[in-house]
Structure 1
Amino acid sequence: MNRFLSNATNKIDAKSRVSVPSAFRSVLAQRNVQELYCFQDFVFPAISIGGPDLLERFERQIAAEDPFSPDANEMSLLIHGGGVFMKLDAEGRLMVTDFIRGFTGISDEVTFVGRADHFQLWQPQAFVAAQAQARGERKLAGKRS
């Protein structure tokens, strides 16, 4: 398996660290990801995390635009201005920094959510609410078809 799938909620320890689920660590290891690119998601109150390839994908999109265009500038503002690099510690834990807490509202627990080529950090109740809303919208869309 080389995709981030499923979700799991873990407690943040007294030193503001949280254990990344083993399935997610396995995907990172398979992809040989040493440094994590973390950015504030464009839609949800979540931090999206992947390898440097995720940042490179966004930078290719920016490079395809006129560098002075509003689209290129907005994308750079979001992916560069709203992004940081982080690393897991030797035990597979991630530091839950103010960058993460301030954007997500995370306090004492983190929900890790698989998104195929990357994963996200959510405040647990916000994830449950967003997932329920998405499920409801899919259900309504099915009835309209």
Structure 2
Amino acid sequence: MFYGRFAHSIDDKGRLILPSKVRLELGLAIYATRGIDRCLYLYPRSEWERLSEKIHQLPLTNKDARQFRRFFYGEAAELEVDKQGRILIPGYLREYANLVSEAVLIGAEDHLELWNAEAYEQENAALVQNPEALAEKLSTLGIL
């Protein structure tokens, strides 16, 4: 399970050092794809395969399903962790999430999200401004 927040820098070559705790959970093969909120989603192989099985069940005759497949898989990449514990994030994924230098890596239960630091601060500020509204939304989903 992934949780927590880690502030990191992305170097000029597009590499990110993974925290050792995260590295152990992820393993050597990491799957990266575009996230819905202009961040990147990082998955360990086991979760990627589990999610892929669910996506595979979506009907090809459904336009929304086809578009989601394109969004999710079309720009995905398998990343390897080097000996220094870094991953090289492809330029097109860095561009999508506006990852230039300062980044935030957050745990999201079965995956990690990699954010532009400023964008994450804005997203998080909006969430914590009104926790009651968030609790109400979660209640309708049966979580609280």
TM-score, normalization: structure 2? 0.82
Structure 1 position 105 matched with structure 2 position 103: no
**1:28-43 map, 5 Å:** 28=26, 33-42=27-36
**1:1-145 map, 5 Å:** 3-28=1-26, 33-42=27-36, 44-141=37-134
Q: Contact 1:55/1:79 (CA < 8 Å) preserved in 2?
A: no
Change (3 A) 1:14 1:78: closer
- Rounded to whole Å, the distance in 1 between the matches of 2:13 and 2:95 is 17
Indicate the SS of the match to 1:36: strand
TM-score, normalization: structure 1? 0.82
AA of the residue aligned to 2:16:
V
Q: Contact 1:65/1:71 (CA < 8 Å) preserved in 2?
A: no
Change (3 A) 1:61 1:75: farther
- Rounded to whole Å, the distance in 2 between the matches of 1:142 and 1:80 is 32
Q: Contact 1:37/1:54 (CA < 8 Å) preserved in 2?
A: no
Q: Could you list the runs of 4 or more consecutive aligned residues of structure 1 that deviate by over 6 angstroms after TM superposition?
A: none
- Rounded to whole Å, the distance in 2 between the matches of 1:105 and 1:72 is 26
Shift of residue 142 of structure 1?
Answer: 5.3
Indicate the SS of the match to 2:41: strand
AA of the residue aligned to 2:81:
L
- Rounded to whole Å, the distance in 2 between the matches of 1:27 and 1:138 is 30
Change (3 A) 1:123 1:140: same
Identity score, percent: 21
Indicate the SS of the match to 2:126: helix
AA of the residue aligned to 1:38:
A
Q: Contact 2:105/2:115 (CA < 8 Å) preserved in 1?
A: yes
AA of the residue aligned to 1:39:
T
Indicate the SS of the match to 1:89: coil
Change (3 A) 1:89 1:137: same
Q: Could you list the runs of 5+ residues in structure 2 that have no partner in the other structure?
A: 140-144
Q: How many residues align?
A: 138
